[in-house]
Amino acid sequence: MTSTPAISRRAALVTGASRGIGRAIALRLAADGFDVAIGYAGSAARAEETVAAAREAGSNAIAIQGDVAQAPDVARLFDTAQQAFGRLDVVVNSAGIMQMASVAPASLDAFDQTIATNLRGAFLVLGEAAARLGQGGRIIALSTSVIARSLPGYGPYIAAKAGVEGLVRVLANELRGRGITANAVAPGPVATELFLDGKSEEQVAQLSKVAPLERLGTPEDIAAAVSFLAGPDGAWINAQVVRVNGGFA
């Protein structure tokens, strides 16, 4: 497939894009005509696989390593993407971890790690995006629909993602007058490694039946919602949390 000339293309940065939902988002945006920076924390091999797939879709894709919990890394993600593409139009913060832990003193390490990546990371990525995007920019963070169900063991994860939803709403107001939207997408259960890890077949089967549509979501389901918010039809949606969950909550 022949790429569109770079001058007419928009550019996106997607964190956590080496696998799962982040990868699906990056590939959907590539198919939508974006040049895409694939942000990743650990697996360079997986990130390069995503880059290769995005290039197959016609994107001038690159991979950039960085830990979203570290301010210098986040600044470097943005610097490298802007240098590569000459612009940034869309930023999607999909990087995240899920550690199951009860609300108890013994879970403090899991809580701190989850907050560092999922909430501090979102704060840093959203802040950099707000400082760098221009008129027509789109900022999209990933939350979770499990917030509404308050399931045992999800305390640290829910706490972090509830904070993300708050940040998005505040940021939308802080961006007043600049023509930039800030929204969150909150998936329900999605069949990814992150979600399936540590769950029995029985638990997975049970969770797949909770939504009225009686299936787990796919990464592509979530990517479609992000594509909508990032595209021309999403221009009037701002300060919202879009729950993409098949009716899960």
How would DSSP label each residue in 52-70?
A: HHHHHTT---EEEE--TTS
**Which region, left, alpha or beta, applies to residue 99 given φ > 0 means left and ψ of -120 to 50 means alpha?**
beta
Q: Report CA Rg, the chain.
A: 17
Residue 67 tokens read as: 């830990």
How many whole angstroms separate alpha carbon 135 and alpha carbon 180? 6
Residue 197 pairs in a beta bridge with none
Per annotation, catalytic residue among 157, 180, 192, 223: 157
Residues across the chain = 249
Please say if 40 is a catalytic residue. no
Residue 155 identity: G
> Could you give the residue numbers annotated as active site?
157
